[in-house]
Amino acid sequence: MEYVNASSVQQVLDTLAQADGGAVVLAGGTDLMVDFKAGKVQPQVWVDVTRVPELCGITVEDGKLVIGAAVTLTTIARSPLVRQYFPSLAQGCGTVGSLQIRNSATLVGNVVSAQPAGDGAMSLAPLAPTFTVLSAQGARQLSMGEMYAGFARSTIDHSRELVTKISIPLPQPGEAASFVRLELRKSLSLPMLNCAAMVHVEDGLVTWARITMAPVGVGPVRAQAAEAFLAGKPLTDENMAQAGQLALENANPRSNPLRGSREYRLDTLPVIIRRALEACRDQLAH
């Protein structure tokens, strides 16, 4: 086995192309190394991208917050830029695993590992992010929904493609976002349920809402019925509660022996969706 500590994006792409499917991109590695030890991934070449300078920054460019693919969750959670524009993203990224995990793991990794309820990915989901993906075939831009191919399956082929950055449009006046996690334990645990919301409110009425939730399907699932219901309405207690109920229309949770039965998840999903909306309302009130 070979291990390449890549120093440029070009080197990553060249190495991937050369290995022709035998190499795997390694960022934080907190999921991949566990899979590797279990024999689930067996690359001939690891391409470590954590020290590629182009992938390591958090910047604001053209009205967008841009987060490099190698930026760790800790860096995001503590970034003044992230905290200023998207405190809920800082919160979600600051919840994954443990501090040691967040010191290695990346937000892109949290999306590409494609666990439906990754907390970083969830807090990112309603912010309308765009992922820039490079490969020998060139560049493409993917939306959040386009990143997930199925349960724990990403559309990104990590043996041939490199996600370089996430771009998030900066929030406009009247916009707020939130993240809520229903947890058995603060550290070292996946959530029983998590959700995130972003709303745009003008003259007291919701212009649009984006609500995402998991694990109720593939990746962070959009609560489309709830979003549609809220459009044009004020964020009253009744409307937020109703939106929570409507979220069930797009949710199909499974039972998990540890993190709650389907029934429990269906019971509490409306509660956490409502709480996420309440948090948005509270932010807008200040």
Partner 1 sequence: MAVLHTTINGEAITAEVDPSISLAQFLRDNLYLTGTKIGCGKGECGACTIIMDGKSVTSCIIPVMRAEGAVIQTIEGVAKNGKLHPLQEEFINQGAVQCGFCTPGMIMSAKALLDENPEPKKEEIREALGGNICRCTGYVNIERAVEAAAQRIQKGE
Partner 2 sequence: MKYVGQSIPRNDGFDKVTGRGLFTFDVTLPRMVYGKVLRSPYAHAKVLSIDTSAAEALPGVRAVCTFKNTSNKVWNGAAPMFITPLPHKPVLDQTIFTDEPKYIGDEVAAVAADTEAIAEQAVKLIKVEWQELPAVYDPLEAVKPESPEVQPKFANPDFHNICGGPIVLEFGGDPTSAFDQCDAVVEYDVTLPRVKQAQMEPHGAVATYSPDGRLEVICTTQSLYPTKMILAEALDIPVSKVTVKNAPYVGGGFGVRIGLSGKAEILAAALSMQCFRPVKLIYTREEDFTCSDSRHGGYLKCKLGAKADGTFVAIDTQAWLNTGAYATFGTDLVGVCGACGTAGAYAIPNFRYTGWPVYTNQMTAGAMRGFGTPQGNAVVEPAIELMAEKLGMDPIELRKKNSTREDTKNWFPFPPGSCGTNECLDKAAAAIGWYDKHGKAGERTGRIRRGVGISAGTHVSNAAPFCVDYNTVILRIERDGTLFVNSSIPEIGPGSTTACLQVAADLIGVPYKDAVMKFGDTDAAPFDIGSHATRTLYTVSYVMADAGKKLRKDIFDWVGPKLGIDPENLDMTDGIITCDGKQVATLADMASQAHLEGKQFLASSCQVPPNCLPFYAQAAEVEVDMETGMVKVIKVAAAHDVGKAVNPPLCRGQIEGGVLQGVGYAVREEMTYVEGKGFYNKGFHSYMLPTADDRPEIESILVENPDPSGVFGIIGIGECGVNPTLAAIGNAVADATGVRFHEFPLTPSRVLAGLKAAGKA
Where on the chain is the footprint of partner 2 (CB under 8 A)? 182, 184-190, 192, 257-258, 260-261, 263-264, 267-268, 271-272
For residue 227, the one-letter residue type is: E
Least distance CB 104 / partner 1 (angstroms): 5
Contact between 93 and 102 under an 8 Å Cβ cutoff? The reply is yes
DSSP character string of 29-75? -TTHHHHHHTTS---SEEEE-TT-GGGS-EEEETTEEEEETT-BHHH
Least distance CB 31 / partner 1 (angstroms): 9
**Residue 100 site contact among partner 1, partner 2, none (CB < 5 to 8 Å, cut-off depends on kind):** partner 1
- Separation between Cα atoms, residue 271 and residue 181, nearest integer Å: 11
- Separation between Cα atoms, residue 184 and residue 260, nearest integer Å: 10
**Residue 101 site contact among partner 1, partner 2, none (CB < 5 to 8 Å, cut-off depends on kind):** partner 1
Contact with partner 1 (CB under 8 A) among 8, 103, 245, 268: 103
Nearer to partner 1 (CB atom), residue 14 or residue 48: 48
The tokens for 121 are 């990915």
* CA end-to-end span of the chain: 55
Q: Which of 256, 175, 157 is nearest to 214 (CA)?
A: 256
Contact with partner 1 (CB under 8 A) among 8, 58, 64, 104: 104
The yes or no reply on residue 184 touching partner 1 (CB under 8 A) is no
Contact between 182 and 95 under an 8 Å Cβ cutoff? The reply is no
The yes or no reply on residue 48 touching partner 1 (CB under 8 A) is yes
- Separation between Cα atoms, residue 64 and residue 99, nearest integer Å: 27
Least distance CB 12 / partner 1 (angstroms): 15
The yes or no reply on residue 30 touching partner 1 (CB under 8 A) is yes
Contact with partner 1 (CB under 8 A) among 8, 11, 14, 33: 33
Q: Which helix (H) or strand (E) holds 208?
A: strand 205-214
Q: Which stretch binds partner 1 (CB under 8 A): 120-128, 147-155, 184-192, 239-247?
A: 184-192
Distances (CA, A) of 78 to 56, 74, 130: 14, 6, 22
Contact with partner 1 (CB under 8 A) among 16, 46, 93, 126: 46
Contact with partner 1 (CB under 8 A) among 74, 79, 91, 159: 74
Nearer to partner 1 (CB atom), residue 18 or residue 42: 42
- Separation between Cα atoms, residue 108 and residue 113, nearest integer Å: 8
Contact with partner 1 (CB under 8 A) among 10, 84, 187, 236: 187
Chain residues in the site for partner 1 (CB under 8 A): 1-3, 5, 26, 29-30, 33-34, 36-37, 46, 48, 50, 74, 97-101, 103-104, 186-188
